[in-house]
Structure 1
Amino acid sequence: MFTGIVEELGEIVGKEDLVDAARFVIRGPLVTTDAGHGDSIAVNGVCLTVVDVLPDGAFTADVMAETLNRSSLRGVDVGSRVNLERAAAVNSRLGGHIVQGHVDGTGHVISRAPSQNWEVVRVALPPELARYVVEKGSVTVDGVSLTVSALGVDNSGDDASGDWFEVSLIPTTLEMTTLGRAAVGTPVNLEVDVIAKYVERLLLHKDGGDADPAPTV
């Protein structure tokens, strides 16, 4: 489990394409200080398992095809910056919200509106996830726990984005995460609040429904 509080802006320093997977080498001197084989580290919001810890402050992780196909990691390459967070310790403060590192889907940055002290970023939201996102609720974008400041739907014009939500990024988030550099059109990993998915599942069974919540990776 994670909290969505990014600890370090890491870098992809190696990538090996395999038959049905990819092996990444990710530099993160902070998150590797106490990491070992089998530990979990969230990379842009995707929970990955450490295979090896290297002497230069990097670690390797294998990413299966399912994860590559369902997350923005498919477009990550050598030189890409990534958000890194170690798994939460039982005795630590929950600075963000409960984050599993299981990506529910991908969206993309629609617009950025800078102001003096923060920047409002609008993100396209897959229609199957829209019901889980509420104003003033929590959403994870590329592993960053954020508060939803606005919701809407745009079905007008040739560039209609459909469902969208907005988040306001403070200077720390802009400086210390990839969201500060995510240009319009950049794909991002989304994880909705797991509590909303459990509530939906329970209500479906109570009412005799058989639909499942949106799949995750």
Structure 2
Amino acid sequence: MFTGIVEELGTVLELEHRGADARLVVHGPAVLAGTRAGDSIAVDGVCLTVVEVGADAFSVDVMPETLDRTALGRLAPGARVNLERAVRADGRLDGHLVQGHVDGVGTLLSRTPGERWDDLLVGYPAPLGRYLAEKGSIAVSGVSLTVTGVQEGAFGVSLIPTTLARTTLGLLAPGGPVNLEVDVIAKYVERLVAAGAVPGVGSR
């Protein structure tokens, strides 16, 4: 489990495609503190298992399902990525509950600079629209953000100076892909309502 609060901007050192899967090597010395093989690190919002730990880099295996459902397969050496270690049970939840299970790949449609912020308009796959709500939470490439508005096929977010400086979203140009994870609570509510299994609803 993660919070969507990026700890470090990492750099892709290698993406080795091995047929249907791949091995990804990332430079990220800050997130390696206390990290061992078998631990989880979110790379651009994707929960991955560390398989090797070096002095200042780590390796992860990326399975075909992950390559199919995320933008990780488009990375190249030198690309910057958002990194976050799994949250400790006794840690502070400063963002929102993020699983690292990407629901779809979106596209940055536009960015409008403000005085000290940027307003972004992000296109999303149609099936995700029912989970988006103004003032709701969404993880964009692993960054916990608040939705400022929703329209057909796109939603808005505003980036404060810290987010612009410390995440890949400050560097992203229109047309760039982003990994999207909607609020898991919304998915569970939908499932319960569809099954008619919300305790106390319709009963006395």
**TM-score category of the 2 structures, normalised to the smaller one:** over 0.9
Q: Distance in 2 between matches of 1:53 and 1:80?
A: 20
TM-score computed with the length of structure 1 as normaliser: 0.89
TM-score computed with the length of structure 2 as normaliser: 0.95
Q: Distance in 2 between matches of 1:110 and 1:183?
A: 9
Q: Distance in 2 between matches of 1:180 and 1:65?
A: 29
Q: How far has the Cα of 1:66 moved from its partner?
A: 1.1
Q: Distance in 2 between matches of 1:21 and 1:115?
A: 41
Residue deviations 1:124-154, cap 9 Å, x none?
Answer: 011100010100000000000000011112x
SS of 2:30 mapped into structure 1: coil
Match of 1:205 among 180, 187, 195: 195
Tell me if 1:120 matches 2:110: no
Which stretches of structure 1, 4 residues or more, deviate above 4 A after TM superposition? Answer: none
The one-letter code of the counterpart of 2:45 is G
Structure 2: runs of 5+ lacking an equivalent: 198-204
Q: How far has the Cα of 1:192 moved from its partner?
A: 0.2
Partner of 2:58 in structure 1? 59
Q: Distance in 2 between matches of 1:20 and 1:106?
A: 19
Tell me if 1:48 matches 2:60: no
SS of 1:140 mapped into structure 2: strand
Q: Distance in 2 between matches of 1:190 and 1:112?
A: 17
TM-align CA RMSD: 0.8
Give runs of aligned pairs for residues 80-119 of structure 1, distance below 5 A. 80-119=79-118
Give the share of equivalent positions with the same residue, in percent: 57
Q: How far has the Cα of 1:85 moved from its partner?
A: 0.1
Q: How far has the Cα of 1:165 moved from its partner?
A: 0.4
Q: Mean alpha-carbon deviation: is it higher for 140-149 or for 15-24? A: 15-24
Q: How far has the Cα of 1:15 moved from its partner?
A: 1.8
The one-letter code of the counterpart of 1:23 is R
Q: Distance in 1 between matches of 2:22 and 2:41?
A: 16
Q: Distance in 2 between matches of 1:26 and 1:17?
A: 15
Structure 1: runs of 5+ lacking an equivalent: 154-162, 208-217
Number of matched pairs = 197
SS of 1:82 mapped into structure 2: strand
